[in-house]
Structure 1
Amino acid sequence: MSDRENQSCLSAAEDSLSFLVCVFHALKKWLGLGQVEDYLSVLEYLVWVFTPLAIVFIVPFLIVILLYLSILFLHLYKRKNQLREAYCNNLWDGARKTLATLWDGHGAIWHGYEIHGMEKIPDKGAALIVYYHGAIPIDYYYFLANVIIQKGRTCHSVADHFLFKIPGFKLLLEVFSVIHGPQEECVRALKSGHLLGISPGGVREALFSDETYPLLWGKRKGFAQVAIDSQVPIIPMFTQNVREGFRSLGTLKFFRWVYEKFRLPVAPVYGGFPVKFRTYLGDPILYDANMDAAELAEKVQQAVQSLIDQHQKIPGSILRALLERLYTRHKDE
């Protein structure tokens, strides 16, 4: 600044605020920051663009946080009731019902969760529930919560091996009767009269399916053999808009290559959108001694595909699924 400009600025500085403005302009010119406004404008633009992108990748981690909070609750519950453990056969009933209520509330608030066909789940006796696997199977968590609340039963579940390697998950998996899926153990659970949930698509379907909802079961038929050996009915299940709630980048070739090469489920998941979730349970497929595992697997796949065709608009749309929170019209209506 020239002496004349300094004098003019100082003479105009009738209060401390004006003086600070003058000082700021002097420093800006002295430091060569005449374009600082342009830099700030660019920075503001980047913040507006990238913040929403960051959020959709951060929200899925909130589900992991909720799972760890559930685990923390179980540890506190166990410590509080450790003296009763030796005298009570149903130590975890209270914990399961408490967590079921919390997860059911989460589903109702965030996704307006509904379940249709709950009457098809038997009040007693065994059944195998076969479902489509979303990028994050949060709809299945809501289903488990409803089984506990409405039926007073615990549904056993089959999960991928990697889930058992996640630090801290052991207690949660034990309390909710999650197994890694040997056929003998599945048959044992069903012959003991329990419900059992399984997704033949598993991790592959979770990561590599997309908004067109293809079933990625391959030639898997072990679940059908389990039903035959146990002589139990199979109940197909599908949740509308589950792919619009959370989506995976597994369709990118790199992540598919990593999984096929190393069996590492590292494809990023994004979303957490509060879309409408409706779970539909199909008619039970009863045990038929004249049907082999391959035939039964094909029949079950057709039943799940029928639920998708009837209740899901293809391709799925996040915007449409969000609007469905406001409207109750179903696709088949």
Structure 2
Amino acid sequence: MLMYCEDPSSFCSLVLNITSATGNFIGNQLDLLYLGWVASLLYPAILVFIILPSLILVLLYISAFLLYIYMRRKKVYNVLNETLHRDPWASGRYLISLLWDAHGYIWHGYEVRGLENLPDEGPCLIIYYHGAIPIDIYYLVARTILTKGRLIHCVGDRFLEKVPGWKVILEAFHITPGTITSCVQTLSENNILSISPGGVREAQFSDHNYQLMWGNRTGFAKVAIESKSPVVPLFTENLREAFRTVSWPQRLWIALYEKLRFPIAPIYGGFPVKLRAHLGEPIYHREGETVEELAQRIRASLNSLIQRKQKLPGNILRALLARFYEPTKNE
């Protein structure tokens, strides 16, 4: 039986309002009780299947990291006790390299193929594909310091200088914006230098098809010619599967980047995919070859490396499975 009250100020209307409010309150409480009941059922499962196993997994990774450092304790001791008048950052770089190399080894099964293509002495210019985060360069710099005792100088975007707290990293690892003159100077001092012609644009707007976004840039080829340095192309398998950028709405990200000259597109990932770096055969400037011709030859070499080593389009699940099984390119 329904009750209707025409006068909102009547006792009848008051009773109806109280009844409605009480019903709503009891309904909300029942919802909360139901959610609590569901949580009480799920909590033991979450504890047993997620939290406790995760704690064990974290402890195992910490143990693996500490043992990785322990295996290299003699080398660490020697580096820390060497005379530092030549390079005050040498010991710090070595310790940081151990950290990054351990991370790459444990989290990504990181490996390098073609490391012999980097000279043990003398200049060398590395030209590489730029991932959403150039984590492969971090790992390669670390591996080169640990295995060859050589530092790879890097050309980085100017916005890095504006990131709070990063100045010490840029200084210690010789990461600079780089002009043609400064790059030639770095190589003339018999250093290894890495450049990504695609830069931040490639990092933000390339995707799992691994397209190079160099535009008409040829400055890197001019650096190679003027410094008389060999060029080694670098590509890392599954780099875009480790970290990706949010592509939608890409037109907005591009417009903001063009206006601000700062990476705006959100980045997500950190997936423990297999990362395998490939250093190609050195490329030398041919007599009479123009800057544009050399730039095109370097681009073609890096593109060929991508086509031969990366199954396109990239796939996160396939890259994860590559930690345990190495399929052929045609599989």
Could you tell me the TM-score, scaled by structure 2's length?
A: 0.76
2:62 is matched with: none
Q: How does 1:218-257 map to 2 (within 5 A)?
A: 218-250=215-247, 252-257=250-255
2:268 is matched with: 270
Q: Report Cα offsets for 1:218-249 as digits up to 9, x if no partner.
A: 00000000001111110000000000000001
Q: Contact conserved, 1:311 with 1:330, CA < 8 A, in 2?
A: no
Deviation (angstroms), 1:131: 0.3
1:180 is matched with: 177
The DSSP-based 3-state class of the residue aligned with 1:300 is helix
- Closer, same or farther: CA 322–29 of 1 in aligned 2, 3 Å: same
- Closer, same or farther: CA 165–32 of 1 in aligned 2, 3 Å: closer
Q: Report Cα offsets for 1:239-293 as digits up to 9, x if no partner.
A: 0000000000145221111112222211100000000000001110012231111
Instruction: Determine if the alignment matches structure 1 residue 89 to structure 2 residue 82.
Output: no
The DSSP-based 3-state class of the residue aligned with 1:237 is strand
Distance across 2 between alignment mates of 1:247 and 1:260 = 20
1:218 is matched by which residue type in structure 2? G
Instruction: Determine if the alignment matches structure 1 residue 121 to structure 2 residue 118.
Output: yes
The DSSP-based 3-state class of the residue aligned with 1:35 is helix
Deviation (angstroms), 1:332: 6.9
Distance across 2 between alignment mates of 1:228 and 1:330 = 37
2:287 is matched with: 289
1:145 is matched by which residue type in structure 2? A
Distance across 2 between alignment mates of 1:289 and 1:222 = 18
Distance across 2 between alignment mates of 1:292 and 1:123 = 28
Deviation (angstroms), 1:97: 1.0
1:55 is matched with: none
1:35 is matched with: 31
1:313 is matched with: 311
1:34 is matched by which residue type in structure 2? L
Q: How many pairs are equivalent?
A: 269
Of 269, 272, 278, the residue aligned with 1:280 is 278
Instruction: Determine if the alignment matches structure 1 residue 196 to structure 2 residue 229.
Output: no
- Closer, same or farther: CA 307–30 of 1 in aligned 2, 3 Å: closer
Task: Return 84-93 or 216-225, whichever deviates more.
Answer: 84-93
- Closer, same or farther: CA 332–140 of 1 in aligned 2, 3 Å: farther
The DSSP-based 3-state class of the residue aligned with 1:150 is helix
Deviation (angstroms), 1:164: 1.0
The DSSP-based 3-state class of the residue aligned with 1:33 is helix
1:227 is matched by which residue type in structure 2? A
Q: Report Cα offsets for 1:87-113 as digits up to 9, x if no partner.
A: 722222111111111100000000000
The DSSP-based 3-state class of the residue aligned with 1:89 is coil
1:216 is matched by which residue type in structure 2? M
Task: Return 276-285 or 92-101, whichever deviates more.
Answer: 92-101
Deviation (angstroms), 1:165: 1.1
Q: Contact conserved, 1:311 with 1:332, CA < 8 A, in 2?
A: no
Distance across 1 between alignment mates of 2:287 and 2:162 = 38
Runs of 4+ in structure 1 over 4 Å off: 26-32, 37-44, 84-87
Q: Contact conserved, 1:310 with 1:332, CA < 8 A, in 2?
A: no
1:229 is matched by which residue type in structure 2? E
Deviation (angstroms), 1:326: 0.5
1:74 is matched with: none
Distance across 2 between alignment mates of 1:29 and 1:247 = 46
Deviation (angstroms), 1:328: 2.7
- Closer, same or farther: CA 288–32 of 1 in aligned 2, 3 Å: closer
The DSSP-based 3-state class of the residue aligned with 2:232 is strand
Distance across 2 between alignment mates of 1:87 and 1:133 = 33
Distance across 1 between alignment mates of 2:256 and 2:37 = 40
1:261 is matched with: 259
Distance across 2 between alignment mates of 1:180 and 1:263 = 14
Q: Contact conserved, 1:133 with 1:205, CA < 8 A, in 2?
A: yes
Q: Contact conserved, 1:117 with 1:282, CA < 8 A, in 2?
A: yes
Task: Say what the alpha-carbon RMSD is for the aligned residues.
Answer: 2.6
Distance across 1 between alignment mates of 2:84 and 2:116 = 34
Q: Contact conserved, 1:28 with 1:34, CA < 8 A, in 2?
A: no
2:160 is matched with: 163
Of 304, 320, 323, the residue aligned with 2:321 is 323
Distance across 2 between alignment mates of 1:259 and 1:246 = 19
Distance across 2 between alignment mates of 1:144 and 1:326 = 25
2:7 is matched with: none
Could you tell me the TM-score, scaled by structure 1's length?
A: 0.75
The DSSP-based 3-state class of the residue aligned with 1:133 is coil
The runs of 5 or more residues in structure 2 that have no matched partner are 1-21, 41-80
Identity of aligned residues (%): 47
- Closer, same or farther: CA 288–247 of 1 in aligned 2, 3 Å: same
Distance across 2 between alignment mates of 1:28 and 1:36 = 12
The runs of 5 or more residues in structure 1 that have no matched partner are 1-25, 45-83
Q: Contact conserved, 2:221 with 2:292, CA < 8 A, in 1?
A: yes
